Amino acid sequence: MEQEYLDSFGEAQEFWYVAKDAEGGEDDDGTCTCDKWWIPTVRVPAEGLSEASRKWLQHQKDLVGQVLKAAMAINADVLGEMEIPEEFIESLPKVLFLSTRTRLLKIH
């Protein structure tokens, strides 16, 4: 399912991505001050996106959000069912042990 969402972005779109170090991707002095310099910058036409593109992007956002929520729920269920070895719990510092134990007790 996720692959279909990603593949749909490969089709012709009204927006495109440029590298941070490409023209218009940096500050005026030529240095990139952002923390995530490896993430490309999205560019759109000067007149903006069409209504159809906006709706399509919103729909994709909603679908990917549903996948994320499902994955988080699955991860929480799996982690909640996992047994924690007693040796691990005993090796934790007492303060961390208490907060971890309390949190684990709340989960179960």
pLDDT of the residue at 35? 77
What is the average pLDDT across 5-34? 66
| Beta-carbon-side half-sphere exposure of residue 4 (alpha carbons within 13 Å) | 5
Is the four-CA dihedral 59, 47, 40, 12 of positive or negative sign? Answer: positive
Half-sphere exposure of 51 (CA within 13 A, CB side): 0
Radius of gyration from C-alpha coordinates of the chain: 22
Tens digits of residue pLDDT in 28-77: 455 556 677 778 888 888 998 899 888 988 998 999 899 999 999 999 99
